[in-house]
Each structure stands twice: as structure tokens, then as C-alpha cells.
């Protein structure tokens, strides 16, 4: 009876090890998938390792980002956190500036040139003398085209890039 219990314990442990090894093998991302993801994210096909890659505005699936985050080294992680903080601070400062101008407008106070420049920068007001808005990449009410969406080499359309369409690997 004791031998039977010991045998069942050994078989159970062996089964757990086999299942664990199979899952580890399945979870390893293949080189083909990595190349596919990189090709989808990078605008130009010219590989210059000394320069940062020019990326598209494409959005991959959440699981892809989770998988790739495992590869991030500490220096890259620190750079990411620094850029994210800078972006959050910029967005907060811009939002606060617009809110302060909006409150002055709601109170009926006259807007200063500084306030007008904030509204022009954010595209909330157009300059009647210049007929050109510099905020948010718009000119004369139309958004400029982004070269990220006009890559003839890989035949991605604007909608594919915007919607994050990526053919699933078989």
C-alpha cells in the first residue's frame, strides 16, 4: 500500500513536470512572430542599429505588449518611465492651461495674447489673420497626412494601421 502511494506521488510529480515543460515551450515566442511584430511597428525597412527605429501609430493586441514587456531591460524600462512621466506632465500642464483660459472666458474676462496663443496652439481657436491653425497638426481645418500611413512597400492602409490590423500567425 505504501509503495502504491509513493508510485502515485512520483507519477503525479512527473505529470506536473511534463505539463510545465509543454507550457514553457508553447509560451516561448518564435523568431517569426517577433519579426512580424517588428515589421508591423517599424515604418522604414532600412535597419540602422545606431538610430532609434521610426515606428507607426499601429496598435498591437494587448497580449503582444505583455509578451514583449518581458524582454525590456532595466535601462529601457527607466527611459520608458521617464518619457511617460514627461508626457503625463505635458498633458496635465496643457489641460490646466486650457481650463484656466476657459474659466476666464466663463467669467467674462478679456483674454490676453497669452490666452489666445494657448487656444491657437490647442486648435480651439483659429487665427483670423493667418487662416492657419498650428495646433495639433491641423492647417485650414484639415489634418496633415502622416507618412507613417503612406508606406507603399508593405501595402498597409491608414485603416489597417489605425485599427491595429495584424494578420494572426498560424
* Pairing of the two strands 138-139 and 142-143: antiparallel
Residue 107, pLDDT > 50, answer yes
**146: DSSP letter:** P
pTM of the model: 0.54
In the chain the first and final C-alpha atoms are separated, in Å, by 49
- Whether residue 109 is predicted with pLDDT greater than 70 in this model: the reply is yes
Give percent of the chain above pLDDT 90: 36
Please, which pLDDT band fits residue 58 given cuts at 50, 70 and 90?
Answer: confident
Identify the pLDDT of residue 80: 92
Confidence of residue 142 (pLDDT cuts 50, 70, 90): very low
Of residues 39, 32, 71, the one with CA closest to residue 54: 39
Taking all residues of the chain, what is their mean pLDDT, rounded to a whole number? 78
Among candidate residues 143, 154, 170, the one with its CA nearest the CA of residue 41: 154
Amino acid at each position: 500500500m505504501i509503495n502504491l502511494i509513493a508510485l502515485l506521488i512520483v507519477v503525479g510529480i512527473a505529470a506536473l513536470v511534463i505539463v510545465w515543460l509543454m507550457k514553457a515551450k508553447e509560451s516561448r515566442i518564435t523568431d517569426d512572430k517577433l519579426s512580424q511584430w517588428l515589421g508591423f511597428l517599424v515604418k522604414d525597412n532600412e535597419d540602422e542599429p545606431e538610430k532609434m527605429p521610426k515606428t507607426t501609430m499601429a496598435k498591437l493586441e494587448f497580449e503582444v505588449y505583455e509578451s514583449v514587456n518581458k524582454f525590456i531591460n532595466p535601462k529601457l524600462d527607466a527611459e520608458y518611465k521617464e518619457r511617460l512621466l514627461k508626457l503625463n506632465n505635458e498633458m496635465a500642464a496643457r489641460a490646466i492651461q486650457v481650463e484656466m483660459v476657459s474659466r476666464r472666458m466663463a467669467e467674462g474676462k478679456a483674454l490676453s495674447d497669452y490666452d489666445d496663443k494657448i487656444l491657437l496652439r490647442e486648435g480651439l481657436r483659429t487665427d483670423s489673420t493667418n487662416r492657419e491653425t498650428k495646433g495639433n497638426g491641423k492647417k485650414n481645418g484639415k489634418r496633415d497626412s502622416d507618412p507613417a500611413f503612406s508606406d507603399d512597400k508593405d501595402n498597409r492602409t491608414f485603416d489597417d494601421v489605425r485599427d491595429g490590423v495584424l494578420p494572426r500567425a498560424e
